[in-house]
Amino acid sequence: MKLPKLPAELTDFKPEVGLILGSGLGFFADDRIEVVGRLPYGEIEGFPVSTVPGHAGQFVFGHLDGRRVICMQGRFHFYEGYRMEQLTLPIRMMHKLGVQSLFVTNAAGGINPGYVPGDFMLLHDHINFLGTNPLIGAVVDEGVRFPDMSEVYDKDLRHQIREWARSQGIALQEGIYLATTGPSFETPAEIRAFATLGADAVGMSTVPEAIVARQLGMRVIGISCITNAAAGISSGPLTHEEVAETADRVRHQFADLLAGAIALS
């Protein structure tokens, strides 16, 4: 990955924390970050441009609680038709810029019967059900060929986040995230199958980015917003509107949780 030419205000800015803002969290970059500069994806050679409405499609650089952060305001999904290596290019770019810790957020359907829409879930581990892997193909410039995945989501930092959330009275689940390609939602039979596999939540993102970040030796934290009960868990059809509505309803709590987690990193 060749670094893009950065605007003048960013040439001396060395981000240490990377942030992927999922559904409903795009406002975090505007509301919580003291912005130093922005870089639209369209200005980066070889970069995909997000096709999802409401995803702005830019990097936002700035300060959060004394930390230098780079946020993806708008992310890429496999179901948009991008190749795995395209959609994980931002992680390689963040790594080249010096990012050591990556915080990935997403919206997910709750499989665990104890979860209710509006809950947050710290990713304890994941199941890659995408049928492919972002590391397939030519050996890229950095990283190990066969990276270890026995602790994708940093154990010490998870512990600190759990303790902090408890001290703040923020309810936080911790569970296994299973990634499917989407874009169709799952069938009830698939959700029952995923439950027997040990999944607590299901979504259409995060796993490719987390795999590449671990390949590059970054510390990773994942947080899901449980936006709906997964198919067959509650009656009635699933809609993107329900997902967006829940994500929007709890976005300020999600932002507080994320900011608190970053401050611990």
Judge contact between 39 and 59, C-beta under 8 A: yes
Q: For ligand HPA, which is the closer residue by CB, 218 or 233?
A: 233
In this structure, is the dihedral angle defined by the CA atoms of residues 79, 104, 118 and 174, taken in order, positive or negative? Answer: positive
Count the neighbouring beta carbons within 10 Å of the beta carbon of residue 211: 24
Nearest 10 degrees: CA dihedral of 165, 88, 28, 265? 40
Nearest 10 degrees: CA dihedral of 220, 137, 131, 76? 50
Q: For ligand HPA, which is the closer residue by CB, 93 or 122?
A: 122
Nearest approach in angstroms of CB 243 to ligand HPA is 4
All residues at 6 or more sequence positions from 60 whose CB lies less than 8 Å from its CB, including other chains: 29, 30, 33, 35, 38, 70, 71, 73
Residue in the shown chain whose Cβ atom is closest to ligand HPA: 109
Which residue stretch of 93-101, 129-137, 147-155, 199-207 sits at the interface with ligand HPA (rule: CB under 6 A)? 199-207
Number of residues engaging ligand HPA in binding (CB under 6 A): 13
- Note if 63 is an active site residue: no
Nearest approach in angstroms of CB 174 to ligand HPA is 18
Interacting residues with ligand HPA between 207 and 246 (CB under 6 A): 227-228, 230, 238, 243
- Note if 205 is an active site residue: yes
- Note if 228 is an active site residue: yes
Q: Does 185 bind ligand HPA (CB under 6 A)?
A: yes
Q: Does 109 bind ligand HPA (CB under 6 A)?
A: yes
- Note if 55 is an active site residue: yes
Pick one of 202, 216, 223, 257: the residue that binds ligand HPA (CB under 6 A).
202
Judge contact between 117 and 225, C-beta under 8 A: no
All residues at 6 or more sequence positions from 110 whose CB lies less than 8 Å from its CB, including other chains: 116, 117, 119, 200, 201, 226, 228, 229, 230, 233
How far apart CA 227 and CA 248 sit, in angstroms, is 9
How far apart CA 41 and CA 196 sit, in angstroms, is 39
Q: For ligand HPA, which is the closer residue by CB, 168 or 181?
A: 181
> Which among 204, 218, 230, 255 is annotated as catalytic?
204
Element (H, E) at 222: strand 219-229
Nearest approach in angstroms of CB 101 to ligand HPA is 24
Which residue stretch of 88-96, 103-111, 134-142, 155-163 sits at the interface with ligand HPA (rule: CB under 6 A)? 103-111
Q: Does 204 bind ligand HPA (CB under 6 A)?
A: yes
How far apart CA 38 and CA 6 sit, in angstroms, is 9
What amino acid positions are annotated as catalytic residues? 23, 55, 77, 79-80, 107, 204-205, 228, 240
Which positions lie near ligand HPA, rule CB under 6 A? 107-109, 185-186, 202-204, 227-228, 230, 238, 243
